[in-house]
Chains A and B, each alone.
Chain A
Amino acid sequence: GAVVSQHPSWVICKSGTSVKIECRSLDFQATTMFWYRQFPKQSLMLMATSNEGSKATYEQGVEKDKFLINHASLTLSTLTVTSAHPEDSSFYICSARVSSGKETQYFGPGTRLLVL
């Protein structure tokens, strides 16, 4: 149980285009989902916290107009990187927390974005 999926797993795009990444909790409901960014050989950097039905809370230094987050249902959150640039190339990981109040976060497999 507690499986989180991400789609796509890899994406290559041209500079200036927008890319949408989906995060789904497959076998549980998640009131809260998190989006992280990970640079090579570094730990995860929290970008934003997404609660179902409300606006995401962004961490300091993360541009909310650049990284659009939508959490429309208890099983789906999306991250859209708008007008992507090469510096946005990174490994993006989502996680979801079970709605029942348990504290464990379950992570998706990650999406590697390469902007040319």
Chain B
Amino acid sequence: AQSVAQPEDQVNVAEGNPLTVKCTYSVSGNPYLFWYVQYPNRGLQFLLKYITGDNLVKGSYGFEAEFNKSQTSFHLKKPSALVSDSALYFCATLPYSSASKIIFGSGTRLSIRP
């Protein structure tokens, strides 16, 4: 079955430190991978996506993610965390282009302390 896993329910980081939010995938074929962020009582905002090409993808708000095929991972990273980055982050995959339904991970709550 196609799936994405976010092994951490919560990640706590001090402001200014680097952050990593983990995601692994299990998808047949070449995966389309996404990261979305959700602020309280809001919908999801698109951060970045990987379809093909360079394994390091840069997205909104200084976030980036690295596609690692051998480890089937797509971890979200940021060099220096901000308190405003505190939110709920979802990793997602679209197993095949256009026709299929996006599959979300369970979400990771990121908390940045001042």
User: CB within 8 A of B90: which of A6, A43, A46?
Assistant: A43
CB-CB < 8 A to B36: which residues of A? 107
- In contact, B32 and A107 (Cβ under 8 angstroms): no
Residues of B within 8 A of A (CB): 32, 34, 36, 41-46, 49, 51, 90, 94, 97-98, 101-102, 104-107
Excluding A2-B46, A105-B102, A110-B43, 20 further A-B contacts by CB distance (< 8 Å) are A6-B43, A34-B101, A42-B106, A42-B107, A43-B104, A44-B90, A46-B101, A93-B43, A93-B44, A95-B44, A103-B32, A103-B97, A103-B98, A104-B49, A107-B36, A107-B43, A107-B45, A107-B46, A109-B43, A112-B41
B45 nearest CB neighbor, chain A only: A107
Binary contact readout A87-111 vs B (1 if CB under 8 angstroms, 0 otherwise): 0000101010100010111111110
Question: What range describes how many residues of A lie at the interface?
Answer: 20 to 34
Contact of A106 with B101 at beta-carbon distance under 8 Å, contacts A43-B90, A43-B107, A112-B41 already known: no
- In contact, B101 and A44 (Cβ under 8 angstroms): no
The residue in A6, A42, A103, A110 that gathers the most chain B C-beta atoms within 10 A of its C-beta is: A103
The CA-CA distance from A106 to B105 in the complex, in Å, is: 17
B8 to chain A, nearest CB (A): 14
B99 nearest CB neighbor, chain A only: A32
The CA-CA distance from A34 to B90 in the complex, in Å, is: 17
A94 nearest CB neighbor, chain B only: B43
CB-CB < 8 A to A75: which residues of B? none
The CA-CA distance from A109 to B37 in the complex, in Å, is: 12
- In contact, A44 and B49 (Cβ under 8 angstroms): no
Within 8 A of B (CB), among A22-73: 34, 42-44, 46, 49
